[in-house]
Amino acid sequence: MLMFLFLVVALAVVVAAVTLAVVGGGEGGGPLPEAAPERLQDPLPPDRPIGRGDIDSLRFPLSARGYRMADVDDALSRLGAELAERDARIADLESALAGARTSPGHISMDKPAPEDQQ
């Protein structure tokens, strides 16, 4: 019975000490300071196009319910802009290539058919 009473008192002391530390009964004079939220330090390069390695190394900080929506939205909008820019560049190059193929002064780089050589 004495051992049970000692364990109950020890448990009460530990709970009281933890409560005082969290609420601010210690030397700090207040509750525990708020921790600054972990923010994404935009690892996507601003000075060059995004590459496969940049996407592979992209890691989002965790929050209470998963990932921060703002960080994910920023990264996705940046990726969308990069893809739109690349699509526009590809379309420009394809139209320039099609225009060069239909121009009258175009020299064909294709191998001639065997019946054309005779």
- Three-state SS for 29-92 is CCCCCCCCCCCCCCCCCCCCCCCHHHHHCCCCCEECCEECHHHHHHHHHHHHHHHHHHHHHHHH
62-63/66-67 β-pairing:
antiparallel
The mean of the pLDDT values for the chain is 79
pLDDT per residue as tens digits for the range 83-111: 999 999 999 999 999 888 887 665 666 67
**Contact between 73 and 80 (Cβ < 8 Å):** no
For residue 1, what pLDDT is reported? Answer: 84
Q: 62 forms bridges with which residues in the sheet?
A: 67
Tell me the whole-structure pTM to 2 decimals: 0.48
The residues pairing with 66 across neighbouring beta strands, listed in sequence order, are 63
